[in-house]
Each structure stands twice: as C-alpha cells, then as structure tokens.
Amino acid sequence: MLVKKNLTKNQLDSIEVGDDIKDEKGNSGIVAKIDISKYRKFVQYFFRLKGDGTIDILK
C-alpha cells in the first residue's frame, strides 16, 4: 500500500502490523509496530518498519 499524506484517517487506521507499505520518498517495508500520537487536533502516525526505518504521517 502506498502511504501518502492525503490518505484519510480511516485508511491510515486500516493499516495493520504485517502489512507491506511504502511512502512517496521510497521508504518501504513490512510494518512491525504502529504508534499513534494525538495532540490537540493533530494525529501523528508512526509506522515502524521491520529491520530499519519509520514512516510518519501528520494529520
């Protein structure tokens, strides 16, 4: 799945551990852990990839 900043919150919430994702910058891998941080009206999604790497999206 291609992860972009214009995805909806429901689409981001549907990503699960074990899914194969990649971003617009070329980072790709299998999701090992998902961290969701909420601050006021912002939600930040951190997708930790197996091996090395993180994809983060701010909504």
Residues 7-27 pLDDT 10s: 999 999 999 999 999 999 989
Mean pLDDT of 17-43: 93
The pLDDT assigned to 51 comes to 85
The pLDDT assigned to 16 comes to 95
Residue 32 burial by Cβ neighbours in a 10 Å radius (0-12, 13-18, 19+): middle
Note down the domain range covering 38: 2-58
The pLDDT assigned to 59 comes to 87
The pLDDT assigned to 34 comes to 96
The pLDDT assigned to 52 comes to 85
Look at the chain and report how many structural domains it folds into: 1
The pLDDT assigned to 46 comes to 96
Distance CA 31, CA 45 (A): 12
